[in-house]
Structure 1
Amino acid sequence: MKRVIVGLSGGVDSSVAAYLLKEQGYEVIGLFMKNWHDDSVTISDECPWLDDSNDALLVAEKLGIPFQTVDLSEEYKERIVDYMFNEYERGRTPNPDVLCNREIKFDVFLKIALSLGADYVATGHYCRKDTILKEGKEVHRLLAGKDPNKDQSYFLCQLSQDQLSKTLFPVGELLKPEVREIAKEQNLVTADKKDSQGLCFIGKVRLPEFLQQKLQPKQGDIIEISSTEEMYNKTIPNFNSKEEELEFLSLKYQYGVNNGKIVGKHQGAHYYTKGQRKGLAVGGTPEPLFVIETDVKTNVIYTGQGKEHPGLYRRGLFISNDELHWVRSDLKLQVDEKLDVMARIRYRQSLEKATLHQVDSGMYIVFENPQSAIMEGQFVAWYKDEELVGSGVIS
């Protein structure tokens, strides 16, 4: 009997994951990760981790498996929260859920599980893994979940071959309604529990208030840029090299205060992110204002009217070599190689046709169609068919 430690989060997906593994004959142990102590910044009055750990305990009792709680709040603060503050301060938009999987669930948690004699760890993620032989070596493939509405492979885009080799995803072959059905049949307390929202393990937070713990409010101007601004109609020059063209397609627009008009005030450029519509508190425009750029150095937010504003769109992006990650290291591109893929720049986005171009300093990704709100700090992930093969942090 192989031993599997399941990250029981107190939700329905991990509860069913534990049940399925037990049915398959594994020795299953439930482990709840407590990662957050500060309830002052969560929106809901109830204390989310307390309710969740109680539900996880009830599920473990129902399934007749051992259960314990580990406190990882120190590691979580160091590796996730401090990183978030740092990224927002630099005017970037981090994705804490991707980081949480790389740094906490499949690193700190995985090491604890292995020290408890586990052969594998398992989570309730909607994705699949299979293993193929290539040149006599085992290669683990990270595949999209069967449920197209719930596929969570994007959140695992930073995992390594080593991490995948010790991981199981029991609900990846199921649709969400089937998971709920199994939970009902087994009378699990989590059967009808709503899916958790907000930051991985923290619950729903008010981001500005959360960031204000470290980043002080600082008043600045909100500037509106017209969609007819000259820079949006620049002619495409003749390029001397492919790399020049890639750089041109990936350049973001550079704004100055003279490009538009002041339409309001904000309390800190680092609280805002590209593509954001809510929280600007500027009315009286025919179409809603969207953030098209933030400048944390000058503390200015640039906005434009409507979600079709040209300032929101571009076709290319760049990833520096040190922020490039191949889940399938055997498919890694060499300098001057290119690869056609399907890619996404955020979790809920549909996959889009794109081409990877490896250069000396990193990798360009050029999309067939312009993409809205490409944000530095976000993760871009690319796929061949249903397999996620690599990812990187947008520079």
Structure 2
Amino acid sequence: MKRVIVGLSGGVDSSVAAYVLKEQGYEVIGLFMKNWHDDSVTISDECPWLDDSNDAMLVAEKLGIPFQTVDLSEQYKERIVDYMFKEYEKGRTPNPDVLCNREIKFDVFMKIAMDLGADYVATGHYCRKGIITKKGKDIYQLLAGKDTNKDQSYFLCQLSQEQLSKTLFPIGELTKPEVRHIASKIGLVTADKKDSQGLCFIGKVRLPEFLQQQLKPKEGVIVEIPESYSKYHQLSPQFDNKEDELAYLSRKIKYSVSDGKVVGKHQGAHYFTKGQRKGLAVGGTVEPLFVIDTDVDENVIYTGQGKSHPGLYKKVLFVTNDELHWIREDLKLNVSESMEVLARIRYRQPLEKATLYKVDSGMYVVFQNPQSAITEGQFVAWYLDDELVGSGVIS
């Protein structure tokens, strides 16, 4: 019997993952990760970690598996929370869920599991793992979950071959309704529990309040840029080569306050992110205002009216070499090679046709159609059919 340690989060997905493994004949141990202590910024009646850990314990009891809690809050603060503050300060928008998987669940947690003699770690993610053999060597694939509506492969886009080799995804072949059905059939307390929407393991966090602990409020202006702004209507220059053209198309437009009109005030540009509509508190416009850019140095938020404002759209993004990651290292591109892929820049976005172009300093991702709110600090992930092969941080 191989030993598997399941990250029991107190939700229905990981509960059923543990059940499925037990049915398959594995020796299963449930481990709950406690990653956060500070209740001052959580909306406390929305899934505080205490309820979750109790539910996880009840599930383990019901399934007859050993259970314990591990406190990873120190590592979580160092690797996730501190990183988030740094990114927001730089005016980027990090994705804590992707990081939490790379740094906590499949690193710190995995090491603890291996020290406990585990052969594998398992989670309740909706994705699947494949194995192919190439030149006599096993290569692990990260495949989309069978339930296209719930596929969570995007959140695992930073995993390595080493991490995948020791991971199982027991519910990847199931749909969410099937998972709920199994849970209620065997009488699990989590069967009807609603999915947590919180920051990975923190529970629901009021993000502005959370950020205000470190990033002090500072009044600045909100500027509206009109659709008629000249830089949106410039003709493209002539380029000597593809790389110059891609650099031009992926460039960030530099706005200044005089390019538009001041329509309101805000309490800190670093609390806002591109594409954001809520929280601006500016009325009186024909269409709602969307954030098209933030300038944290000058503390200015630039906005545009309506979700089709040209300031929101771009076809090309860039990833630097040090933030480029291939799950399938055997498919890595060399300089001046390209690859046709399907890509997404956020969870739940339908996959879009794109081409990767490798250059000396990193890689361009060129979408067939313009993408709304390409946001620095978020992850772009690329697929071949339903296999996620690589990802990177949008720079």
- State the TM-score bracket (shorter-chain normalisation): over 0.9
Separation in 2, partners of 1:375, 1:47: 29
The answer as to whether partners of 1:39 and 1:47 remain within 8 angstroms in 2 is no
The answer as to whether partners of 1:341 and 1:382 remain within 8 angstroms in 2 is yes
Aligned to 1:34: 34
Q: Establish whether residue 307 from structure 1 lines up as the match of residue 307 from structure 2.
A: yes
Q: Establish whether residue 238 from structure 1 lines up as the match of residue 238 from structure 2.
A: yes
Aligned to 2:53: 53
Give how far 1:203 is off.
Answer: 1.3
Q: Establish whether residue 225 from structure 1 lines up as the match of residue 203 from structure 2.
A: no
Change (3 A) 1:47 1:168: closer
TM-score where L is the length of structure 1: 0.99
Give how far 1:45 is off.
Answer: 3.0
Aligned to 1:354: 354
The answer as to whether partners of 1:269 and 1:301 remain within 8 angstroms in 2 is yes
Q: What does 1:130-169 correspond to in 2, within 5 Å?
A: 130-169=130-169
The answer as to whether partners of 1:128 and 1:173 remain within 8 angstroms in 2 is yes
SS of the residue corresponding to residue 264 of structure 1 reads strand
Question: Could you report, residue by residue, the CA deviation over 1:45-93 in whole angstroms, capped at 9, with x for unpaired residues?
Answer: 3561000000000000000000000000000000000000000000000
Question: Could you report, residue by residue, the CA deviation over 1:90-145 in whole angstroms, capped at 9, with x for unpaired residues?
Answer: 00000000000000000000000000000000000000001110010000000000
**More moved, 369-378 vs 202-211:** 202-211
Aligned to 1:325: 325
Q: Establish whether residue 293 from structure 1 lines up as the match of residue 329 from structure 2.
A: no
Q: What does 1:265-284 correspond to in 2, within 5 Å?
A: 265-284=265-284
The answer as to whether partners of 1:252 and 1:314 remain within 8 angstroms in 2 is no
The answer as to whether partners of 1:249 and 1:366 remain within 8 angstroms in 2 is no
The answer as to whether partners of 2:46 and 2:203 remain within 8 angstroms in 1 is no
Aligned to 1:337: 337
Give how far 1:43 is off.
Answer: 2.0
The answer as to whether partners of 2:315 and 2:370 remain within 8 angstroms in 1 is yes
Question: Could you report, residue by residue, the CA deviation over 1:177-224 in whole angstroms, capped at 9, with x for unpaired residues?
Answer: 000000011100000000000200011111111100000000000000
SS of the residue corresponding to residue 343 of structure 1 reads strand
Aligned to 2:68: 68
SS of the residue corresponding to residue 163 of structure 2 reads helix
Question: Could you report, residue by residue, the CA deviation over 1:308-365 in whole angstroms, capped at 9, with x for unpaired residues?
Answer: 0000000000000000000000000000000000000000211000000000000000
The amino acid of 1:303's aligned partner reads T
Separation in 2, partners of 1:48, 1:212: 20
The answer as to whether partners of 2:376 and 2:394 remain within 8 angstroms in 1 is yes
Give how far 1:237 is off.
Answer: 1.3
Instruction: Give percent identity, aligned residues only.
Output: 80
Q: Establish whether residue 98 from structure 1 lines up as the match of residue 123 from structure 2.
A: no
Separation in 2, partners of 1:57, 1:365: 44
SS of the residue corresponding to residue 264 of structure 2 reads strand
Separation in 2, partners of 1:390, 1:45: 37
* Structure 1 residue runs without a partner (length 5+): none
* Structure 2 residue runs without a partner (length 5+): none
SS of the residue corresponding to residue 107 of structure 2 reads helix
SS of the residue corresponding to residue 173 of structure 2 reads coil
Question: Could you report, residue by residue, the CA deviation over 1:6-64 in whole angstroms, capped at 9, with x for unpaired residues?
Answer: 00000000000000000000000000000000011112435610000000000000000
Separation in 2, partners of 1:130, 1:375: 31
The amino acid of 1:24's aligned partner reads Q
SS of the residue corresponding to residue 84 of structure 2 reads helix
**More moved, 244-253 vs 162-171:** 244-253
The amino acid of 1:369's aligned partner reads N
What is the RMSD of the two structures over their aligned residues, measured on CA atoms?
0.6
Alignment size in residue pairs: 395
Separation in 2, partners of 1:369, 1:203: 35
